[in-house]
Copies of this chain bind each other. A is one copy, B any other.
Amino acid sequence: MDIDLPPCKPGQQRVVIIGAGFGGLRLARKLSPRDFQVVLLDRFNYHQFQPLLYQVATSGVEPSSISFPLRKIFHHRPNVIIRIAEVQSFDTVNKRVVTSIGDIPFDILVLAHGATTHYFNMEDIERYAFPMKSVPEALLLRNTLLQRFEEALTTQVPGQKQADLNLVVVGGGPTGVELAGTLAEMKKKILPRDFPELDFSAMQIYLVEASPRLLNGMSEASGQRVREYLSRLGVTVMTDTAVTGYDGETVRLKSGQQIPSRTLIWAAGVRGNQLPGLPDEASAPASRIRVDEYNRVAGLSEVYAIGDIAFIPSDDYPKGHPQVAPAAIQQADTLAANLAAAGKGRPMHPFRYRDKGSMATVGRNLAVAEMGKLRMGGLVAWMAWMAVHLFSLVGVKNKIVIFLNWIWQYFTYDSSLRLIIKPAGEPGNAST
C-alpha cells in the first residue's frame, strides 16, 4: 500500500532519494523547490559524519556531535519530506520503492544508500568482529572497549585477561590507522589512570593489513610515514598479513600466528549495501551499482545512483571512484544540475571527479596529507586535517562543540566520555 505523502505541487516531479549520507543529503539540499518534491529516506533520523566515527568509538567525541537530525537540517526546505524507513526493494516497473512503512511512488529515483562493511565471505569474522560504519556500531564499540577492561579486572578464566587487553584492528586504510593511533594514545595517557590495577605494558595493539603497505590510497611516502608514527606510539603494524579466522577469543593469521584478543575491529573493506530489484547489468564489483557518466543506472530510466554505491567506469578510475565524501558530494552536485537541465530539455553534463587530495591522522600532532603534488606530515598535516574536518561538519553548533572538545582534550589529555551507556529495553518486551 502506498504511504501518505503530500501531493506534488504543479510542475514538481517527485525525487525519492535513498540514504542521507554525504551524497543524498547534498542532493536534497540542491534540488530546486520549484521543480522537485524530494522524499528523503534513511533508516536513521540523522546524518552521520562518518570520518569521525572512530572518535566516538574511542570516547573522544559524543555521538551527537557527529550526528545531525535530518528534520532540523531541512527546517527551511518545505519541499523536502523525510521518512525514517528501511528500504526493502525497488519496483522499477511500477516506479515504487518498497519500504518497511509502505510503498513510495517516484518520478525519479536516486540511490545513495552507500557502502557497508565487507567481510569477504568470512562468516566467523562477520559474527564476532566489530564493524564501524555507523554511529550505533561506533557506540557499541565504545561500550565494548570499556567493558573489556572492566572484565580484565575481574576475570578468573586463565588467559582471558590478555585477550581482554589486546586489541586487533584489521585494515590499513584511514579508518584503521586513525583507530589504532587513537587507541595507542588511550593506552598511554588515559587507561593507566582509569585502571591503575591493570598492567598496560602487557596490552598490545595490532594493526593488520593484507597488502604490503598502509594507506593504499596515498603515496608510498605517506604510507611509510604513518607506519613510523604508529610504531612510535607503540602499535604493532603487520603488513602483508591476512586474517583467516576469528572465534571471538583468538585471531588466526595466514602465517599460522595466533593473537589472543576479544576485540577485533574490522575496517578492512567496504561493499555496496545490497537491495533487490535492479537489473543484472547494473551489478558492479564489490556490490556497487553500475551507472554511466550521468549517474544513470544501467538498464533503467529515471533511476540514478551516486556516492559510495555508484560505480562509474572510466579510464582514470578503472576500479571506480574513491568511496569518499568529496566524490559523493561532487556527484550530487552534478546530478542536481543534470536533473534541473533535463527538466528544461537542456543537455546533461558528464561527471568529472576533482581529486581534492586525501589525509589521515594518527594522533596528536601526527598526520599525513596530500593535495596533488603537495605532501605534508606531522603538525602541519594534523592542523590541516582538523580544519578540513571541522569545516565539513554540518551545523555551527557541532563545529563549535567538536572544536572545544578537541582543545579540551589537547590540554587535558582526557575527555569525560568513557561511558558504557545502552538504552534500556523497550517496555512491553519480556525482559522488562
Contacts and interface: CB of A to CB of B under 8 A. Distances in A.
Given A136-B421, A139-B421, A156-B1, A69 B194 contact: yes
A75 B422 contact: no
Contact of A140 (B102, B128, B193, B424): B424
A136 B425 CA distance: 9
A376 B136 CA distance: 44
Interface in A346-375: none
Interface in A47-76: 62-64, 67-69, 71-72, 75
A93 interface: no
Nearest to A135: B421
Interface stretch (A23-31, A77-85, A202-210, A229-237): A77-85
Contact of A102 (B83, B146, B156): B156
A196 interface: yes
A106 to B, nearest CB: 17
Given A137-B424, A428-B127, A428-B248, A154 B102 contact: yes
Interface in A176-207: 193-197
A212 interface: no
Nearest to A72: B416
Contact of A194 (B3, B44, B63, B71): B71
A419 B64 contact: yes
Nearest to A46: B419
A45 interface: yes
B196 A78 contact: yes
Copies in the complex: 2
Interface hub of A1, A63, A420, A424 (most chain B Cβ within 10 A): A424
A423 interface: yes
Interface hub of A1, A64, A130 (most chain B Cβ within 10 A): A64
Contact of A4 (B62, B156, B420, B427): B156
Contact of A129 (B75, B85, B416, B427): B427
A423 B424 contact: no
A154 B72 CA distance: 19
Interface string A139-165: 110011010001001101000000000
A83 B154 contact: yes
B128 A428 contact: yes
B136 A3 contact: no
Contacts of A425: 140
A126 to B, nearest CB: 8
A274 interface: no
A86 interface: no
Interface in A371-395: 395
A396 to B, nearest CB: 10
A134 interface: yes
Contacts of A71: 193-195, 418
A426 interface: yes
Contact of A63 (B75, B135, B395, B421): B421
Interface in A97-156: 101-102, 126-130, 134-137, 139-140, 143-144, 146, 150, 153-154, 156
Nearest to A395: B416
Contacts of A68: 416
What 5 A-B pairs are tightest by C-beta distance, nearest first?
A: A71-B194, A136-B424, A140-B423, A139-B423, A101-B154
7 contacts: A4-B153, A62-B62, A84-B420, A135-B421, A139-B423, A248-B427, A422-B423
